[in-house]
Every structure is written in C-alpha cells, then in structure tokens.
Amino acid sequence: MNISIKENNYDFSFYEKQFKALADQKRLHLLSILCENGSTCVCDLTDILDLPQSKLSYHLKILLDSNIIIREKKGTWNYYKINSEVVDHLLSEELCCVFRPAK
C-alpha cells in the first residue's frame, strides 16, 4: 500500500475511512480486546464488551468496512481479528513522514 500523490498533494481518501473508524472509544476498546485475545467469536465479544448485538454489529461493520479487522466464518459463528497488515501500515514510518514538517 503506497500513498497516492496527486500534483504534490496527498490523496488521503484511503486513510479517511480508517481514521474515522478509529475515532470512537468503543471501537478502540474492541480493537484492544482483539489485540489481547487474537481471533475472537462475536458471541464472546458481546459479553466482554457488554454491548447489545445490534450495537456490536454496527461497530464491527465500521471496522470491517475500513479493513482494520478481518472476519472469519467458522461453522455458524463469525470470528474477528486485527488485520495486522493494515494496522501496521497505519502506524508505519511511511504515513508518519507525511505529517512531519519539512526541514
């Protein structure tokens, strides 16, 4: 994943959805749990987060749509885990360099 450059301006649309997804305390807490536990069943996430299924689904969808998490279907249950490639890229030196002032 490379940052797209348009006439010396960066195209941030790729990151916009991801940063919006991260700009929520519940979703950050959810990501923290997935980091700690690894692949986790949605049934367990409901109990851990003490959220109704509808609200949990809403937050999971936002994280899925931004590609920050991955869903794996095992039987009748969905399991979620961090998309390490995307998260590593968001926290990468490449993106940090975009926001450093020119010397």
State how far the Cα of 63 lies from the Cα of 36, in Å rounded to an integer: 17
Domains in the chain: ranges and CATH: 5-98 (1.10.10.10)
Q: What is the pTM of this model?
A: 0.79
Which stretches of 23-71 are DSSP H helices? 25-37, 42-49, 53-65
Summarised one tens digit per residue, pLDDT across range 5-54 is: 454 456 677 788 899 999 999 999 999 999 899 999 999 999 999 899 99
Summarised one tens digit per residue, pLDDT across range 54-65 is: 999 999 999 999
